[in-house]
């Protein structure tokens, strides 16, 4: 290689000499491509010759019920790795309604074969319908056992989260009956089917309305100056809906609630929201102590191979 870092001029390269062998190289490449095409034609013809034998047997009445036919076809599908199972299935008439060779249907008719490697867990023979050998290193029973264990572990990992969520939702928020009534009255002022607000975009639903009505009924027997405990899963959605209603018509919000309180509905909602937020934090902290996460079971996770679908059609 010419050293240009030393300040010398690079020696002149004779490119005509450099490429003097190019024509021979290109010619060799051309011949090799022709040879490959010829080899591919020969492979196709050889494949066709084998398939023609199968086809001939089928034409004279050979079926998979015949033991010799069955043996031959099992050998071709399961033991001759380089033989295209799709072409074999097609020759035997296993074609699905889209005109695609149905290798699985053929393999079911042929019956399973023993895979070369036994199950790595129990050592039993793995039966396979795949012409390319077992697609798994476990027998179906062991694979199911590992999968079941994985799903049990996944469920167990979710369990503390579910329990925490339940603990928070069941926890109660304490506030004045009068204040809860203000929130319910704001929601009940807008029945979804009777207002222009009844539109999917606003999220104003009958479920919210019915919840507010149930809450109002629940509070009916209590005195306004009493305190009432509402479960978090009632209080939080009620307040969210009440805030939406209050924001629609702030002026109307005051007239809706004036028979219940002298205070402004906005101030009451703000106070209730503060109570809900504070209570939620308390419940979250309690829930974390009561239902902590399990240690990360990273080392018990099954291998990726187990989650791969059990493909039985070999590539051809």
Q: Which residues bind Zn ion (CB under 5 A)?
A: 119, 121-122, 139, 142
Comparing CB distances to Zn ion, the nearer of 136 and 179 is 136
CA distances from 189 to 38, 182, 186 (A): 85, 11, 5
Closest contact distance (angstroms) between CB of 145 and Zn ion is 8
Closest contact distance (angstroms) between CB of 125 and Zn ion is 9
Closest contact distance (angstroms) between CB of 137 and Zn ion is 9
Alpha-helix residue ranges (DSSP H) falling in the chain: 15-18, 22-59, 67-74, 85-91, 103-110, 140-170, 177-188, 206-219, 232-248, 250-257, 265-290
Comparing CB distances to Zn ion, the nearer of 123 and 295 is 123
How far is residue 91's CA from residue 73's CA, in Å, rounded to a whole number?
Answer: 11
Comparing CB distances to Zn ion, the nearer of 101 and 119 is 119
Closest contact distance (angstroms) between CB of 126 and Zn ion is 7
Comparing CB distances to Zn ion, the nearer of 69 and 121 is 121
Task: Identify which of 246, 191, 233 has the alpha carbon closest to the alpha carbon of residue 213.
Answer: 191
Closest contact distance (angstroms) between CB of 150 and Zn ion is 16
Residues 6+ apart with CB under 8 A from 164: 284, 287, 288, 290, 291
Per DSSP bridges, beta strands 113-114 and 227-231 are unpaired
Comparing CB distances to Zn ion, the nearer of 55 and 137 is 137
């Amino acid at each position: 290689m010419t050293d240009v870092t030393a300040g010398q001029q690079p020696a002149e390269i004779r490119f005509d000499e450099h490429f003097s062998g190019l024509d021979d190289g290109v010619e060799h490449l051309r011949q090799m491509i022709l040879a490959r095409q010829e080899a591919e034609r020969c492979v196709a013809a050889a494949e066709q010759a084998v398939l023609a034998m199968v086809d001939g047997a089928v034409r004279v009445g050979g079926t998979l019920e015949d033991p010799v036919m069955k043996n031959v076809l099992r050998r071709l599908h399961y033991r001759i790795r380089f033989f295209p199972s799709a072409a074999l299935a097609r020759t035997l008439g296993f074609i699905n309604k889209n005109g695609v060779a149905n290798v699985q249907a053929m393999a079911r008719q042929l019956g399973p074969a023993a895979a070369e490697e036994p199950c790595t867990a129990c050592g039993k023979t793995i039966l396979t319908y795949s012409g390319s050998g077992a697609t798994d290193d476990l027998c179906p029973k062991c694979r199911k056992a590992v999968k079941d264990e994985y799903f049990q572990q996944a469920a167990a990992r979710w369990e503390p989260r579910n329990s925490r969520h339940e603990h928070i939702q069941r926890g109660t928020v304490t506030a004045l009956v009068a204040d809860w009534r203000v929130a319910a009255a704001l929601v009940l002022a807008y029945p979804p089917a009777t207002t222009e607000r009844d539109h999917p975009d606003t999220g104003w639903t009958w479920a919210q309305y019915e919840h507010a009505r149930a809450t109002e009924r629940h509070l009916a027997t209590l005195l306004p100056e009493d305190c009432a405990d509402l479960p978090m899963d009632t209080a939080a959605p009620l307040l969210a809906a009440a805030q939406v209603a209050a924001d629609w018509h702030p002026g109307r919000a005051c007239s809706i609630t004036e028979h219940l309180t002298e205070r402004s509905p906005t101030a009451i909602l703000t106070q209730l929201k503060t109570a809900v937020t504070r209570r939620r934090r308390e419940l979250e902290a309690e829930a974390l102590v009561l239902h902590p996460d399990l240690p990360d079971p990273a080392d018990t996770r099954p291998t990726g191979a187990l989650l791969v679908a059990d493909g039985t059609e070999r590539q051809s």
